[in-house]
Amino acid sequence: MVTRDDVARQAGVSPSTVSYVINNGPRSVSEATKEKVFQAVQTLGYRPNAVARNLRRQRTSSLGLIIPDIINPYFAQVAQGIEAVAFERNFTVVFCHTQYSLEQELKYLDHLYEERAAGVLWVPATGEIEPAQRLIDYGLPTVLIDRVLDGIEMPAVVADNYRGGYIATKHLLSLGHRRIGCIARPVRLSHSRERVQGYQTALKDAGIAFDERLVAAGGYRLENGYEAIQYLLGLEDPPTAVFTYNDIMAIGATRALRERGMDVPRDFSVVGYDDIPDAAYTCPALTTVRQAKYEMGAKGIELLFKIMDGEIVDPQVKESVSVELIERESTGPVPN
């Protein structure tokens, strides 16, 4: 069976360009490129799905939810808000777990398009814009959740990550800490960058010079927090506290500290981010920045339905949900 990818290879173009030419999508393509695609279609005998040619008119009652990490409870709580609103509108939600892989992300987008999904709620896994461009090419109504992409205008629902980084660092400063580490994800995604910016501003407001050595590049899972805190503790002048990218990494960092014989918070303070359910039940209970996760998901799908219903939505719109510091047991005064 000849596929769209076969046509793309024959014509020397991307699969999304093939979809555009066949479906007369919203992107401008040169006549020469169109001719290459049509020739490849004829040569290979490609027969595209007739229903997929008219996605908007023949859409299903399914929505795609693309998330990078099904293990992290944070995304499950966002999904709860999405699914609740979808259920009220008699829509089903198809979960697509990308495992932070660009390749899997692109495959899921193709699948949702070919299965005639009515719209997509997307948590980008990387800072790459290729998936966003493909969604635009396909003409799929899309809302970004939790983060935005540089250079791409798409409606989004996000948390106030800058404020989150600021209040987390401010809390540690109020306890007397002056050497404060930060574990961040080394990706070009808005939410991670904004949290670090909030951290830097809080230090600046306290008259403390930013030390880039105190920012450790981590991933997003337990082992990444575990490894990152080892780096910070290995510095000549190590920090006495740390603000982490998420709660999962904070839990990993706490384990590493305990293995070194350090008490949290007597010897070292830890602040997480997200306030996943586990945060209140770790030992010690985790001080963290709570995001309105359910609300973020609900707002995202409500915005998507507006687009699907034909309302004019500014592609630059960025709806925001609140953040707040939840003070528990993992933070305390700077040790003597």
How much is the pLDDT for 55? Answer: 40
Shared domain check, 93 and 240:
no
Model confidence pLDDT, tens digit, residues 151-207: 888 999 999 999 999 999 999 999 999 999 999 987 778 899 999 999 999 999 999
For residue 49, pLDDT over 60 is answered with no
The candidate with the shortest Cα–Cα distance to 84, out of 329, 298, 300, is: 298
Is 81 part of any domain?
Answer: yes
Instruction: Determine the Cα–Cα distance for residues 234 and 227; give it in Å rounded to an integer.
Output: 11
For residue 332, pLDDT over 60 is answered with yes
How much is the pLDDT for 50? Answer: 40
Domain span holding position 90 = 58-159+293-321
Confidence bin at 126 (pLDDT 50/70/90): confident
Is 182 part of any domain?
Answer: yes
Model confidence pLDDT, tens digit, residues 203-245: 999 999 999 999 998 878 899 999 999 999 999 999 999 999 9
How much is the pLDDT for 54? Answer: 40
Shared domain check, 241 and 182:
yes
Is 28 part of any domain?
Answer: yes
Average pLDDT over residues 115-139: 91
Task: Give me the half-sphere count of Cα atoms (radius 13 Å) on the Cβ side of residue 245.
Answer: 27
If you write DSSP's letter for every residue of 7-69 in order, what string do you get? HHHHHTS-HHHHHHHHHT-SS---HHHHHHHHHHHHHHT----TGGGGTTTT--SEEEEEES-
pTM assigned to the model = 0.81
Shared domain check, 42 and 74:
no
Is 8 part of any domain?
Answer: yes
- Helix (H) / strand (E) element for 92: namely strand 92-97
How much is the pLDDT for 76? Answer: 94
Total residue count of the chain as it appears in this document:
336
How much is the pLDDT for 138? Answer: 87
Is 327 part of any domain?
Answer: no
Instruction: Determine the Cα–Cα distance for residues 174 and 226; give it in Å rounded to an integer.
Output: 25
Shared domain check, 262 and 155:
no
CATH number at residue 16: 1.10.260.40
Shared domain check, 86 and 180:
no
Shared domain check, 65 and 98:
yes
Shared domain check, 228 and 173:
yes
Is 155 part of any domain?
Answer: yes
Q: How many domains does one find in the chain?
A: 3
How much is the pLDDT for 52? Answer: 44
CATH number at residue 222: 3.40.50.2300
Is 174 part of any domain?
Answer: yes
Average pLDDT, the chain: 90
Q: How many percent of the chain have pLDDT more than 70?
A: 93
Shared domain check, 275 and 171:
yes
For residue 316, pLDDT over 90 is answered with no
Q: Is 144 helix (H, G, I), strand (E, B) or coil?
A: strand
Shared domain check, 188 and 145:
no
Shared domain check, 308 and 244:
no
